[in-house]
Amino acid sequence: MENVVAKNEQINKELLQRERKNKARRNRLALELPLHIMLIPGIIVTLIYAYGPMFGIIMAFQKFNPSLGFTGSKWVGLKNFRFIFHLPDFSQAFKNSLYISLLKIIVGLMVPLILSLLINEVSKNWFKKFVQTSIFIPYFLSWAVLGGIIFEIFSLKGPVNLMLGRIGIEPIYFLGDNKWFPFILVTTDVWKSMGYNMVVFLAAITNINPSLYEAAAVDGANRWKQTFHITLPGMMPIIILICTLSIGSILNAGFEQVLMLYSPPVFRSGDIIDTLVYRLGLIDGQLSPAAAVGLFKSLISLTLVSISYYLAYKVSDYRIF
Amino acid sequence: MIHKADWKRKIFILCNTLFLTLVTLISIFPIVHLLAVSLSSNVAANAGVVKMIPVGFTLEAYKFLMEKSDFLIAFGISLKRVALGTTINMVMVILTAYPLSKEKSAFKARTFYVWFFAFTMFFGGGLVPAYIVIQRTGLMNTLWALVIPGALNVWNMVMLLNFFRGIPKELEEAAIVDGANHFTILWKIYLPVSKPALATILLFTIVGHWNAWFDGMIYMNSPASYPLQTYLYTLVTQNFNKKLLTMDDIERLKNVSEKTLQIAQIFLGALPIMLVYPFLQKYFIKGIVVGSVKE
């Protein structure tokens, strides 16, 4: 008798549990459904305009004809890749991209680093703010506007040549000379973007424990020594992180900037992969070879980005989300 | 000894102040220079004597521009683009960041969705396939081509997502007990406390839409539908296209040099950003730091 009651109780318990579980599942669905709904617009746009072009990469293996579309165009295997690898412009653009972006990374790191150390030495708060605000202004201007400014400033009769003339230097055609063009690209890019990294570095400096400086001062270390033995080591993690993350963008030498500033005489020193893709594909209409160049670049970038994020994760425990 | 160190420090501070003033000047010189040239007489502008102060002050260039229809049309298109694009971007960023900010225990499919979106940050189809897709989806030569393909900025979304994750869970749990649904929680709890992050994203979105010119150039068929920055690009690179001028324009142009006119247009292209920037600055410095030095 007791056995039966116990068994009944057991069954009742199980039923109750199952019902609870079902209820929980329904509850969970009711709770999670709005979350799925919120994602729908983002998913649609991403599928069409981010994954769509990824699917469109198949045109790099076709002789793409816009009227036939992705499915109707003729497949040609690796012919487009053989074509671009034999293109002299391609290897030139590849070399230029590496050279220009490497210079941009190095100078673009050093200048804000030095500026942030100098600004940190300023004691007046209003001056600090004023400098910081001003340095950030070029960051918000488009390359179309900056292009106009740069053409004006570096023109043969512009302010830069005017000043060089005062010390007896013949006017230099900066934007039309292969010797000078990469230099102009690097300088103007660093000038535009230095405010950003400077803010990041300044934040890193304020995060350093003040008691370290007090201890150093007691030991008789002057400002110079404090900078070298406390401030710089304290900033090392963020410097290393920025370096690592920039590995991934090493083939991005600044598309809009170059497109704005270059001209046929400086193609030799200024043409980069992105501008080559643009000219080849959208100006000359060689859609498939241009897509092949683009795929080549995307694959290298994906590899480098993966490596750099892995390193950033290992070295400084960095995660984007 | 102490006196000597004091003295050295003073010299350093002086040099440092001078140097930083110089850097500041280099940063703001171009924009001040533009303003000065645009307000100068055409003789002075063409002679290249204007630096930071107008020579032979005149408002002729701006008066001319106020009646120059192609400039005004381009300006209008840009304003429309910023209004439409920013609205869409903000809605999309908020709607996407909220579900993805949930823990895996509260939203089972989160990991899958995160990878779905994150992958697009590291790999893309490239310019030509993207162009074909936009052509195929019928956006060509419409304002939608400039706002729909980039409607969800994944970088901004990740930034907001990280900000959302820092919001204390107790607030939300209390609301759930009271029977609030996700939309209410997002609207009443998450958004009000995320103002700094939203302001930063808002600033970057406005600036991004106002400054974009390449997409306008390739997706718009006729210069008449170019947004302002694309218009400026053609203006600067083709060094003032005379074909854009009507006879009436040429008649009135007698008083204005092409140069001051061109410079005035470039200046006006930069002006709106200069006006928004100071108001949002205090937020966005915080935003950059949160976004890049996440600990």
Domain boundaries, chain A: 2-75, 81-316
Q: Predicted confidence band at B239 (pLDDT cuts at 50, 70, 90)?
A: low
Q: How confident is the model at residue A270 (pLDDT cuts 50, 70, 90)?
A: very high
Between CA B118 and CA B56 the distance in angstroms is: 55
Residues whose CB is less than 8 angstroms from the CB of residue A300 and which lie 6 or more positions away in sequence, other chains included: A251
Domains, chain B, in order of start with CATH, read 1-58 (no CATH), 62-295 (1.10.3720.10)
pLDDT band at B257 (very low <50, low <70, confident <90, very high): low
**Average pLDDT of B281-295?**
62
Architecture of the domain delimited by A81-316: Orthogonal Bundle (1.10)
Q: What are the φ and ψ backbone dihedral angles of A41, each rounded to 5 degrees? A: -60, -45
Distance CA A287, CA A276 (A): 12
Q: Is residue B275's pLDDT more than 90? A: no
Q: Give B113's contacts in chain A (Cβ within 8 Å).
A: 39, 43
Lowest mean pLDDT across A119-133, A207-221, B40-54? B40-54
pLDDT over 50 (residue B202): yes
Chain A residue with CA closest to B34: the answer is A149
User: Residues for chain A: how many in total?
Assistant: 321
Q: What is the pLDDT of residue B249?
A: 56
Q: Residue B292 pLDDT more than 60?
A: no
Q: Are A245 and A312 in contact (CB under 8 A)?
A: yes
Across the interface, do A282 and B127 touch by the CB < 8 Å criterion?
yes
What's the rounded Cα separation, in Å, for the pair B80 and B144?
11
Residue B289 confidence (pLDDT): 67
Widest Cα–Cα separation across chain B:
77
In degrees to the nearest 10, what's the CA dihedral of B117, B120, B122, B125? Answer: 170
Least confident of A170-174, A181-185, B93-97: A170-174
Could you tell me which residues come within 8 angstroms of residue B88 by beta carbon, excluding any fewer than 6 positions away?
B147, B148, B151
Residue A27: phi and psi, rounded to 5, are -60, -45
- With a CB cutoff of 8 Å and minimum separation 6, the contacts of B197 are B159, B160, B163, B287, B290
Q: Give the side-chain half-sphere CA count within 13 A for B78.
A: 27
CA distance B30 to chain A (A): 6
Write out pLDDT tens, residues A140-166. Answer: 999 999 998 898 888 887 788 888 999
Mean pLDDT computed over B243-270: 69
Instruction: Note the pLDDT tens digit of each residue in A61-74.
Output: 999 998 888 888 89
**Do A49 and B281 lie within an 8 Å CB cutoff?**
no
Residue A275 Cα, gap to closest chain B Cα (Å): 10
Q: Which of A27, A31, A35, A276 is the mutation pick for testing B, counting most B CBs within 10 A? A: A35
A121, A127, A321: best to mutate for the B interface, most B CBs within 10 A: A321
Cα–Cα distance between B151 and B137 in angstroms, integer?
Answer: 15
Give the gyration radius of chain B's Cα atoms: 25
SS3 state of residue B258: helix
CB of A205 closer than 8 Å to CB of A235: yes
pLDDT at B104: 87
Question: Is B28 within 8 Å of A134 when comparing Cβ atoms?
Answer: yes
Which residues in chain B touch residue A247, judged by CB atoms under 8 angstroms apart? none
Centroid of chain to Cα A107: 16
Name every chain A residue with its beta carbon within 8 A of the beta carbon of B132.
Answer: 53, 56, 59, 66, 70, 287
For residue B79, name the pLDDT band (cuts at 50, 70, 90): very high
- pLDDT recorded at residue A102: 95
Contact state of A54 with B162 under an 8 Å Cβ cutoff:
no
**Chain B residues within 8 A of A295 when measuring between CB atoms:** 126
Q: How far apart (Å, rounded) are the C-alpha atoms in residues B223 and A163?
A: 38
pLDDT in tens, A17-56: 887 777 777 777 777 899 999 999 999 999 999 999 999 9
> B10, B18, B120, B127: which to substitute to probe chain A, counting the most A Cβ within 10 Å?
B127
Render the burial of A235-248: b for 16+ CB within 10 Å, e for the rest.
Answer: bebbbebbbbbbeb
Helix residue spans in chain A (DSSP H): 2-46, 52-56, 69-72, 79-85, 88-120, 125-136, 143-153, 159-166, 181-206, 210-218, 223-226, 232-247, 255-261, 267-270, 273-278, 287-316
Cα dihedral value A244, A250, A252, A253, nearest 10: 110
Contact criterion met (CB below 8 Å) for A192 and A139: yes
- The whole-number average pLDDT for the span A266-270 is 94
Cα A133 from Cα A130, distance rounded (Å): 5
Å from A5 to nearest chain B CA? 37
Token output for B33: 């220079």
Contacts of B144 (CB under 8 A, 6+ apart): none
- pLDDT digit string (tens) for B165-188? 888 888 888 888 888 889 999 999
Whole-number mean pLDDT of chain B? 86
Mean pLDDT of all residues in A217-229: 87
- Minimal Cβ distance to A149: which of B12, B34, B123: B34
The pLDDT assigned to B244 comes to 44
- Judged against a pLDDT cut of 90, whether residue B283 lies above it is answered with no
Where does the pLDDT of residue A321 fall: very low under 50, low under 70, confident under 90, or very high at 90 and above? low
CA B35/CA B32 separation, integer angstroms? 5
Residues B81, B150: Cα–Cα separation, whole Å: 12
Alpha carbon of B139: minimum distance to chain A alpha carbons (Å): 11
By C-alpha distance, which of A259, A292, A87, A62 is closest to B127? Answer: A292
pLDDT given at position B291: 56
Window 35-94 of A, Cβ < 8 Å to B: 35-36, 38-39, 41-43, 45-46, 48-57, 59, 66, 69-70
Q: Is the ipTM of this complex over 0.95?
A: no
CA distance, residue B76 to nearest chain A CA (Å): 17
Residues 6+ apart with CB under 8 A from B201: B90, B93, B156, B159, B160, B287
Query: How many A-B residue pairs are in contact by the CB < 8 A criterion?
Result: 267
What integer is the mean pLDDT of A107-132? 93
Average pLDDT rounded to a whole number, residues A286-290: 95
The pLDDT of residue A145:
92
The percentage of residues in chain B with a pLDDT greater than 90, rounded to a whole number, is 51
**B51/A159 touch (CB, cutoff 8 Å), yes or no:** yes
* Residue A223, pLDDT score: 84
